[in-house]
Structure 1
Amino acid sequence: MAKKRVFISFDYHNDKNCKVMLAGQANLPDSPFDFKDSSVDDHLTGDWKDKVKRRMDNVDIVIVLCGTKTHTAAGVAAELKIAKEKAKPYFLLAAHSDKTCTKPTSADSNDKLYKWEWENLKKLVGGSR
């Protein structure tokens, strides 16, 4: 089975370390995904949203990594909105098991925040949601 190409949306200023750990899991031998791209820093030149749109054209699924301040991250909200506009499958993944993680403001009320555990992550990438 071909690995899914993943875009990781995350709060660039607060959850960068969590994103590095998640992207690193793509290197595990039983990983069902390849890390393709991720959030961009708002300081990029030009229209960063256009850059995100182009990046999302080349992925199969979007993982929204939710930390403690994700509800304040305008970039994550915009990226999730773009994923929805492009009809990309996505899911919300709690970045911390010991802290209260929040959803982006563009999340739907019925979007579940899933626990980040390796077996669970593999199932989520495989479509079990």
Structure 2
Amino acid sequence: MLMVREIEDIIADFEDFSIEGDYMQKISKLTDELIGTGKPELALDAMLAILERYPDEEIGSPGPLAHAIEKCPGFEPKLLQSIERMPSTLSIWILYRLIQKSPKEEFVKALEIAAGHPLASEQIHEDAKLLLSWVAR
């Protein structure tokens, strides 16, 4: 019999997540568990916090974490807030995917913020500028 964990335990594991060992397998298992609860939005803040803690890590491309975030109803405002705090490789990729579906001005503006964000790495600045150039086409 498959044991289903409480959503609070899954969220706690997201909060404790680190990029040690086989972290991609760990994030894949966690996101599968989360999606299985039918309430992924309860862990949205914890998932976005991972992106902010590890902004330069490629945690999938886009991968299970991005897909889980995108499954959260109404995730867009929280993604934009996360990018304002600390853009990451994966958050700007999710943002670009959003722009492809719906090129809203607020999404493009968030990408511009990432391109010049004072806390972001040079790599994130370059990635955001590249994505902006793709949007401008």
TM-score category of the 2 structures, normalised to the smaller one: 0.3 to 0.5
Higher share in helix: 2
More RCO (CA 8 Å, sep 6+)? 1
Greater Rg, structure 1 or structure 2? 2
Structure with the higher fraction of residues in strand conformation: 1
